[in-house]
Each structure stands twice: as C-alpha cells, then as structure tokens.
Amino acid sequence: MAKTKAAQPERTRPITVESLKAFGALGSLSLPAEPFDPTAEWTQTYRLWLVQRYRSGGKLVVHRTPSGRDGVRLRVESTLAEYGGHLRRIEAVLDCAADTLCSPRGWRLKATHLDVRDKPTAGSGLSERGTLAGGTWTVRFGDRSRKRKIPSPVTSNWSLFEAVQRLPGKDTQPLSFAMLDEMDLLKPDQRLSFCGTKEVQVGGRKRMLRGYAQIGRGVLPWQYWVDEQSRLLLAFSGVRAYVWDPKAEQTLQKQRQAARSRALGRR
C-alpha cells in the first residue's frame, strides 16, 4: 500500500505560528539556557524561510551594541538566496536613538549581488549613507544625494527587530510611525500593537510567547513573537518568515554549495 504524505499547509496562505510548525520551520529550534537582557549587547541570527519553496532561503543577523547614554548601534547582515545559486546581500550599520522604536539617526549601507562563484555581478553594487534629522531624510550615493521631508516618528524594519524585544507585552500602547524598509523605501502610516499570547512547543518544551502585530500602508501584516525573556524568536509577513536559528549560516553554506555544484555541473 502506497504511503500518503502528511498534510502540508497551503503555500498561498499567509504564515502563522501553526503553519511554521507544520512545515518544519520550528523543528530544530533550540534556545540557550542563559538569561537574556534585550537592553544589553547581543547578536541574534535568523533563518529566512520562504513558504512557496518549503525551505530556508537566507539569513538575517542583527548585532546590538549600546552606544553612549542615549544611543544604540545595530549591525545588520541580510542575505537572500536566489535561484541558480545567486545571493543578494545587504550589510548595514545603523546608529539609532535608544527610544521605543529604536529610531535611526544615521546609517551606512552596502548592497551586493553575488553570482554562483561568489563574484559580484557587474553593476550590482550599491553604497549609501543616510541621516534622519529634523524631519528630513537625507541619502547620499557617492557625490549624489536626495532629501525628503518625512513624518515623525520614524523607524526601520531592522530597528523593529530590536524594539519589540523591549516592549512590555499586554501593557504596550499602540505605536504609530513611518518605516524605512531597508533604509530605502518609506512606508507611512504604520501601527504596532500587542496581539496576545500563544503557547508553543519550542526547544523541547512549551513556551509562552507574546505577540505584536504590525499593519500599515505598503506592507503585508507583520507579526513578531518573543519568548518569556523577550527574545525575538519569530517574525513573519506574507509568505516570508524569520526564525531564530544560530546555525542559519551553516545551513545557508550547505545550500549554497549544493546550488553551486548543480549550476556548475550543467556547464
């Protein structure tokens, strides 16, 4: 008698905590035993899951460092694995205020597209510097620059990964803001609020997670889920999810080696 495959969540539906568990994204998640302080220095690594492919498709690394009496520095590395063994990589350093939204004050960003041999694709590199001051968003590309007046308060998609870990759960008042997506695209009229708790089997035992939901113009709804120590474990929107995973780099390299072997073997 032929074996039947276990039911899988539909690929066209938005991600939920339950669907992530169903297609195996939470199966290997193992959390450290030591205490976590969201206001201290830390590094967190996330595996990027793309639901359409039922597999991981990259990684995100966020490193937080307190800076002075009222600042935070975020170092971000975002890597997206593309078809044919290509990679899209963004490296950014954000200097932010130590406020509720981790609002960016200034940043440096470098974007690169790598081919299957890890060589930059011709014409794909981008470097920029930016500032947010006095309600003006300024971005510089070499000897060119652009300026735009934008509403306040302002945060970034990467800043929110830091900010939600310092929110007080059910006592969180709804937050309204504009968001810079990858420091390049402004998404106005965003709103972030507490959305409840959920008991989830994670790391071999049940954990009570707290959730925050983001809606707004130009974005699919986001959800962020933190554990009892406020460590961000899951963030997802549409068909893309970031899952806390210190081994994401090793997984990406294995996938990359396999993609490289397939691509070069066809030539």
The pLDDT tens digits for 197-232 are 999 887 778 889 999 999 999 999 999 999 999 999
At 169 the pLDDT is: 96
Q: Is residue 3 part of a domain?
A: no
- The tokens of 195 are what? 């959305």
Q: Is residue 12 part of a domain?
A: no
Q: Is residue 107 part of a domain?
A: yes
Q: Is residue 142 part of a domain?
A: yes
Q: Which of 19, 37, 21, 40 is nearest to 29 (CA)?
A: 21
At 60 the pLDDT is: 97
- 8 A C-beta contact, residue 56 and residue 249: no
Share of the chain above pLDDT 70, in %: 90
- For residue 89, pLDDT over 70 is answered with yes
Give the residues across from 72 on adjacent strands. Answer: 66, 96
Share of the chain above pLDDT 90, in %: 60
Q: Is residue 263 part of a domain?
A: no
Q: Is residue 7 part of a domain?
A: no
- The tokens of 126 are what? 């981008």
- For residue 76, pLDDT over 50 is answered with yes
At 6 the pLDDT is: 46
* Residue carrying structure tokens 């707290």: 210
- For residue 2, pLDDT over 60 is answered with no
pLDDT-based confidence at residue 31 (cuts at 50, 70, 90)? confident
d(CA 234, CA 67): 26
Q: For the chain, how many structural domains are there in total?
A: 1
Q: Is residue 97 part of a domain?
A: yes
First and final CA of the chain: distance in angstroms? 41
Q: What is the mean pLDDT of residues 164-189?
A: 96
- 8 A C-beta contact, residue 98 and residue 149: no
At 87 the pLDDT is: 86
Give the residues across from 48 on adjacent strands. Answer: 58, 242
What's the angle, vertex CA 262, arms to CA 259 and CA 266, rounded to 5? Answer: 145
Instruction: State the residue range of the domain holding 164.
Output: 17-26+38-258
At 12 the pLDDT is: 54
- 8 A C-beta contact, residue 55 and residue 48: no
Does residue 153 have a cis peptide bond before it, meaning omega lies within 30 degrees of 0?
yes
Q: Is residue 208 part of a domain?
A: yes
- For residue 105, pLDDT over 90 is answered with yes
Q: What is the CATH number of the domain that holds 161?
A: 2.50.20
At 247 the pLDDT is: 86
Alpha helices in the chain (DSSP H): 17-22, 157-163, 248-265
